[in-house]
Amino acid sequence: MPIHILPPDVADKIAAGEVVERPASVVKELIENSLDAGATDIRVEIRGGGKRLIRVIDNGCGMSAQDATLAFQRHATSKLRDAADLEHIETLGFRGEALAAIAAVSKTTLITRSADEPVGIELKLESSELVARRSVGGPVGTSITVEHLFWNTPARLKFLRTDATEAGRISQIITRYALAYPEVRFAYVTEGRLAFQSTGSGDRMETLMKVYGHEIAREMLPVEEGEDVIAPGIRVSGFVSKPSLHRANRRYIELFVNRRYIQDKNLTFAVVRAYHTMLPEKRFPIAALFIEMAPTEVDVNVHPTKAEVRFRQASLVFRAVQRAVHRALVEHSSVVGLGLEPEEGSRAMWAARREPEQRPEEPDQLRMDLMQAGLSTEPDSKQSRAEVGSASEIAATRGGAKLPPLRPVGQVSAMFLVAEGPDGLYLIDQHAAHERILYEKIVAAGENPIPTQQLLEPMVIELGTQLAGAVAQHLPTLQQSGFDIELFGGGSFLLRGVPAFMSGQDPRRLLEEVADGLSERADLVGRDREDALVRIICKRLAIKAGQTLSLAEQRELLRQLEACENPLTCPHGRPTILHFSARQLERQFGRT
Ligand code: ADP
Ligand code: MG
């Protein structure tokens, strides 16, 4: 076929396909227009899953008769003047495509009236063609009715799902906007039945309860709006689920940038990462996060449905999100305020009240395990107790903080250690603490590989392509981490030994888990990836929640944590230790 230019109606339908994929996309575009028009009341009605009818009624600014006719032209917009305006978009729409696209693939009726006009106007279009036009009375605002969507593009119609599924997607769009705009009153009516309504009170928590239900909303923690020193100009607020509430996939993590719903794998990962080790494997949190930044910092003009955006400083946004979520988790999951900054005067106390060295007479199991793995500090280690003590005096500020000497009191839920320090009570997460210890040991080991426990018989382990790829790529790191492993051909590996501390565990599962962890972090390269591997291994190696520790083992764990460079968090940034100062305790008990 020789090249020819497509007739306008064909071109229009093709263009429409990019913007209008399904009924929910129509609803999305119409709601965005209503919000851009300053509406405070938006009502969405649908029939037949939106295939038969979609109607969006708003009380926004409306349009003049002249604008109304223009609005259906392609590239007709009141929101953008020149290319420079694209640099700082503050409206949800800006391309002037939606109404043209919708009108191209449906029978559309527009009724609108602006405040300056005594009467409104009604326009009817079919396949982009104006078929009727008349003056009508009515309130200021706009009503757009879209009937028989895709009636002239049967191929597209075929791809739509059942009415119920399409209605579900529409409901998702509406509830998202209701959350993003709590000051706007949304109503959603399907088949004549009111399915959802928000009050427009401006209270996001109230909307959250309507969207998620009381049960779930109660389990959500607020992410307080606050600017992070590391990410000035980026504000993150919203809600995230407590670690006790989780889902089987990432779909329940909803992100908004300047109140526009977006999809962003990286930021979703930032949210998940903030929960690291707090959630069971392959489980994900629920989140509704609102990220605010200057419009110049984000390019919303990169995706046909504007569902993806590009950040000027993506890694800053990533960190801001991760830290905000993390803060919410840490701050709200404890009963009382906490902080590791010693209160005035207590620095001196740390030194004065340092306990005599308490080392177990006989090596206990944990210690033996650690020694076996070559990870234990030997008794004559350079890292003496005195050094730890004095380091803590110097660096007793957040960030470079060290631990004061701690005396174990006992274990709670086989998960946390309770310890007494010079200034009050300390709770230690045994798994996180041990992860930190192992991490620093492995990193410090550097060239000296972790000892390997040879298997009685070498095993040939076959992994799927994806896992095999991850393993092959990281053979040297795996070898350095104590795996005696080599390529066997195809997707197979010959495994002769495993890290000593991991012996006794199913070697195949061990390797699979490590490889799995690696393939999940396929985005990492070079050192980051090595580091990720080490962290995966630490996580696997560390004593688990649920493991009972003797007092001697507890003491040993604390001693090794004190010796850490960075004892306050696990390698994933989760706190290892919470501190309740004597003064805080007194306050909580009403003694001061
Ligand atoms: P865009 O939103 O990108 O500008 P649209 O095709 O969605 O493009 O809309 C075209 C124009 O029609 C908008 O710029 C706006 O001026 C006008 N318009 C659309 N919907 C409404 C509405 N609900 N209320 C007021 N004006 C509207
Ligand atoms: Mg629009």
Pocket probe for ligand 1: among 25, 29, 30, 33, the residue whose CB has the most ligand atoms within 8 Å is 33
Nearest ligand (C-alpha, residue 28)? 2
With contact defined as beta carbons under 8 Å apart, do 26 and 174 qualify? no
Which residue in 347, 366, 364, 378 sits closest to 563, CA to CA?
Answer: 378
Q: To which residue do tokens 């005599």 refer?
A: 356
Please determine, for residue 587, whether its predicted confidence score (pLDDT) is greater than 60.
Answer: yes
Residue 381 — very low, low, confident or very high, per pLDDT cuts 50/70/90? very low
Task: Locate CATH 3.30.230.10 in the chain.
Answer: 219-332
- Report d(CA 82, CA 75) in Å as an integer: 12
* Closest ligand 1 atom to Cα of 76: 10
CA–centroid distance, 30 to ligand 2, in Å, is: 7
- Determine if ligand 1 sits within 6 Å of the CB of residue 76: yes
- Determine if ligand 1 sits within 6 Å of the CB of residue 92: no
- Determine if ligand 1 sits within 6 Å of the CB of residue 35: no
* Closest ligand 1 atom to Cα of 32: 2
Q: Is the pTM of this model over 0.75?
A: no
Q: What's residue 502's pLDDT?
A: 65
219-332 placed in CATH 1.10.150.120: no
Partners of 220 in beta bridges: 241
Residues in the chain: 592
- Determine if ligand 1 sits within 6 Å of the CB of residue 26: no
335-592 placed in CATH 3.40.190.10: no
Task: Locate CATH 3.30.1540.20 in the chain.
Answer: 335-592
Helices 204-212 & 163-180 angle (0-180, nearest 10): 160
- The pLDDT tens digits for 271-313 are 999 987 677 777 899 999 999 999 999 999 888 778 899 999 9
Q: To which residue do tokens 């990169």 refer?
A: 302
Residue 474 — very low, low, confident or very high, per pLDDT cuts 50/70/90? confident
Give the pLDDT mean for 360-386: 35
For residue 238, give the 3-state DSSP assignment. strand
- The pLDDT tens digits for 176-221 are 999 999 999 999 999 999 999 999 999 999 999 988 888 888 889 9
- The pLDDT tens digits for 83-98 are 888 888 889 988 888 9
CATH of domain 8-201: 3.30.565.10
Task: Locate CATH 3.30.565.10 in the chain.
Answer: 8-201
